[in-house]
Chain A
Amino acid sequence: MSGIPDNHSGVGLVVRGLRKSFGGQEVLKGVDFEVRPGEIFVIMGPSGSGKSVLLKHLIGLEEPDAGEILINGEPLTTPEIAAKYRMALVFQSGALLNSLTVGENVGLYLTEHRLKSPAEIEKIVVEKLDDVGLKDAVDKLPSELSGGMKKRAAIARALVIEPQLILYDEPTSELDPLSAVVIGNEILDLNRRIHVTTLVVSHDRDLAFGVADRIAVIIDGRIVTVGTPDEVRNYNAPRVREFLHADFKREK
């Protein structure tokens, strides 16, 4: 089904004491957690808790004020280390280049780095799009796709890198429940098939408890708890319970 080689497996990720401020406001206040090779790790938290900022640090789009990020034990401080490990981020919006077709978007990494011949790139693009059920969208522009299709195209673009660590930023936001399940199943399927280490940032409780091997809850820039879905579900801290069990109060 896929052209992804079997020999690439996930990497381990360790984050220690990560701090970041913007304009005097501390967004990350010493974040610590560890993601094991090949697992699906979900970071949950309310809006504004620092999830997306954390993700940008992991992919190298932001520099921390303090703390360190280790990939397979090596600090992610130089472009050489960052380039040594294949990491991909699936953006919340998809972040497909609007001036390119879906096929060109998916093949962009290979085209720009000249890693394959045009014919091979075309073949890989079709394979990756087939993997996410978008084979027929190869010549479409991103503006012609629905929200869910854009996210699946973004996943296909990430897959081309053959990542050892794949990061998802709010993968089910703005999606209907059916599309959200499709995306959740894609995440599970990819993890099982290529053993890629997967880190998902989301506030979608259904997704988190549906796909995660372990879950961390981040509130106000700090990781409050880490554990299996059951451990986190039964965690008793008031703010965690409030976030995980928030519901409408409709009188019967």
Chain B
Amino acid sequence: MFENIGEIVLLFWRTLLALPQAWRQRDKVFDQFFEIGNASLLMVCVLSFFIGAVIALQTGPVLVERSLPSAVGGVVGIAIAKELAPVMMAILIAGRIGSAMAAEIGSMRVYQEIDALRTMNINPIHYLVLPRILAIAVALPMLVVFSVLVGWFGGAMVADLNHRMEIPFRVFFADLRDIVELKDVANGVFKSFCFAIIIGVVSCHQGLVTIGGPRGIGRSVTKAVVNSIVLIVIFDYILTRFLLK
């Protein structure tokens, strides 16, 4: 992965330079955006609900036993908003959308479709990379906001229904509001925006450098997902450290 980091940064730079083309490519951006939403919304919903539920289940009884029931809403709220929703959704999207990007562009490369674009003087970065990165950069933060809300709801349900907590729904959210600030949610959304750029650039790069036949495409898909996840985890630490200041 690290031997390609220069190429990945270069692709990111070229995509930034292509930004003035964004309005021209708006139809493709919308297409990609809806594809990401359609492909991910249900999975995001299920995953987020159960993440919220399990965090409440793990932390709630411990806090209640120590006479800290008012901390349950805050712990679940902070954990989901600042860490779990952005990271888990990024990993989910890397697997679901990053792999599809690498496969589609990789297949276009293998079957000379990208060469065909070049012969028509159509820049593959404008035509293929820019719309995908813009779409994922908008879609992932939106999915994370949705995920945060569903995750909180999951946590609140478990806190209410579990006999070891029995924290009413309204009380859970009142406690959550006391601790979680808008800034905490914004931190998570900002992190997810950075993760989206990582997934988009890494996956498109992997697609563009695909060689060989179907096996080469398979290899690219695997590398796109694994490299994206590794970079997400590394950047999660760096961004968290930076945002904690």
Contacts and interface: CB of A to CB of B under 8 A. Distances in A.
The 8 closest A-B pairs by CB, nearest first: A95-B116, A95-B112, A109-B120, A89-B119, A112-B122, A97-B113, A59-B119, A91-B112
B120 A91 contact: no
Contacts of B122: 108-109, 112-113
Contact of B120 (A93, A98, A108, A114): A108
Contacts of B108: 97-98
Chain A contact residues: helix, strand, loop or mixed: loop
A88 B120 CA distance: 7
B108 to A, nearest CB: 7
Contact of A95 (B24, B104, B115, B127): B115
Interface string A106-119: 00110011100000
A112 B120 contact: yes
B118 interface: yes
B58 interface: no
Interface string A144-184: 00000000000001000100000000000000000000000
B111 to A, nearest CB: 6
Contacts of B111: 93, 95, 98
Nearest to B25: A112
Give the contact-size bracket for chain B: 10 to 19
A112 B112 contact: no
A109 to B, nearest CB: 5
Interface of B: 24, 104, 107-108, 111-113, 115-122, 127
A60 B118 contact: yes
A61 interface: yes
Nearest to B120: A109
B139 to A, nearest CB: 19
Nearest to A86: B121
A88 B119 contact: yes
A75 B112 CA distance: 26
A91 B118 contact: no
A124 B24 CA distance: 22
A1 interface: no
Contacts of B113: 95-98
A83 interface: yes
A216 B104 CA distance: 38
A93 B114 CA distance: 13
Contacts of A97: 108, 113, 116-117
Interface string A47-66: 00000000010011100000
A137 B28 CA distance: 24
B121 A91 contact: no
Interface in A72-127: 83, 87-89, 91, 93, 95-99, 108-109, 112-114
A109 B120 CA distance: 6
A236 B115 CA distance: 38
B174 to A, nearest CB: 50
